[in-house]
Amino acid sequence: MKSRILLPGLLAILHFSVFSLAVPLFAVPLFADDWPQWRGPGRDGVWHETGIIKEFDGPELKLRWRVPIAAGYAGPTVADGRVFVMDRVTEPEEVERVHCFDWTDGKRLWSHTYPCKYGKIGYQAGPRASVTIDDGRAYALGAVGHCFCFDAASGEILWKSDLAEEYRIRMPMWGIAAAPLIEGDLLIVQIGGDNGACIVALDKMTGRKRWTALDDKASYSAPIVIDQAGRRVLVCWTGARVVGLDVSSGEIYWEHPYGYEDWPLQIATPVVDNGRLLVTAADRGSLMLRLLGDRPAVEKVWWRYGPDEHHTDSLHSLMCTPYFDGGHVYGVSIYGLLRCLDAETGDRVWEDGTATSQVRFGHLHMVRNGERIWMFNDRGELLISRLTPEGFEEISRAKLIRPTLEQLRRRDGVTWSHPAFAYKHVFARSDEELVCASLAADEKDE
CA angle 102, 106, 110 (to 5 degrees): 55
Give yes or no for residue 2 having a pLDDT over 90. Answer: no
Name the percent of the chain lying above pLDDT 90: 87
> How does residue 4 score in pLDDT terms, banded at 50, 70 and 90?
very low
> How does residue 178 score in pLDDT terms, banded at 50, 70 and 90?
very high
Q: CATH top-level class for 2-445?
A: mainly beta
In angstroms, the Cα distances linking 125 to 72, 159, 244, 380 are 5, 26, 32, 17
Q: What is the pLDDT of residue 310?
A: 85
Phi-psi region of 424 (alpha: psi -120 to 50; beta: other; left: phi over 0): left
Residue 343: which of 330, 356, 355, 352 has the closest Cα? 330
Higher pLDDT, 442 or 147: 147
State the chain's mean pLDDT as an integer.
92
Residue 81: which of 120, 32, 119 has the closest Cα? 32
Q: Give Cα 435 distance to the centre of its chain.
A: 17
Q: Mind listing the pLDDT tens digit for each residue in 189-244?
A: 999 999 999 999 999 999 999 999 999 999 999 999 999 999 999 999 999 999 99
β-pairing, 391-399 vs 381-388, is antiparallel
Q: Mind listing the pLDDT tens digit for each residue in 7-25?
A: 333 223 223 233 222 333 3
CB neighbours (10 Å) of residue 310? Answer: 9
> How does residue 260 score in pLDDT terms, banded at 50, 70 and 90?
confident
Residue 412 DSSP one-character state? T
Q: What is the pLDDT of residue 24?
A: 36
String of DSSP letters for 140-206: EE-TTSEEEEEETTT--EEEEEEHHHHHTB---TT---SPPEEETTEEEEEEEETTTEEEEEEETTT
CB neighbours (10 Å) of residue 186? Answer: 19
